[in-house]
Amino acid sequence: VKDALDGSGGNIHNLLLGRSSGSLFAFKNNAYHITVNSANAAIALLPNVSMVDSSTYTLTMDAIKGDETGANGINAFGMIFCFDQPTKTKTTFYTFQVINVKKGEYQFWKYDSSKGADNAWSEIWHGTFGKEFHQGHGPRAANTFNIFMKNSMFTFTVNGKFVRKVQDKSLKSGRIGMIVNLNGTEVAFTNLLLTSN
């Protein structure tokens, strides 16, 4: 899968468009934009694309606007992968996100709805970002994230720089997508690439 997010070929992967749960999903300026207009995080998934073992998911994210002070909540955005809904009552996935504030951090989470609302999210790893991350918003704030998945080992890079290698054997495969958190945050997504290694 390559370049599914500029809209030039139409909505070839049937991404969510329009308003949903208070947030806005749209193609504009050759990118796929998610604008959060509610208290809930906004999620967009590619309906028919799955990440499996021995694959790489690459995505460029550009923060357009949002509260970067941390005063009103967690301004975060990133990637969803290994998303699965085996039953109507169970949803599982991983996220690799960045908290877009000064001295912010990367976070690797697992979500499992079967554990109940209070325990669905479990943090696998977090760490402060360095100079490799372009913090803030606007043209200079675009960042390319890579997730390399092999034998339940995940290697994360940002703008070509190694960030962390983490093992977790919970989820083996599933759909990919994007997540944006905090009311008022808008993020533009481009250069989506999913390859088998």
> If the chain, 197 residues long, is cut into consecutive pieces of 10 residues, what is the mean pLDDT of each piece?
76 90 94 95 92 95 93 93 93 97 96 94 97 91 97 97 97 96 95 92
Contact 185, 78 (CB under 8 A): no
Supply the pLDDT for residue 65: 94
- Alpha carbon of 81 to those of 10, 44, 51, 152, 166: distances in Å? 23, 11, 7, 13, 15
Provide the 10 A C-beta neighbour count for residue 57.
23
Contact 16, 5 (CB under 8 A): no
| SS3 state of residue 139 | helix
pTM for the predicted model, two decimal places: 0.94
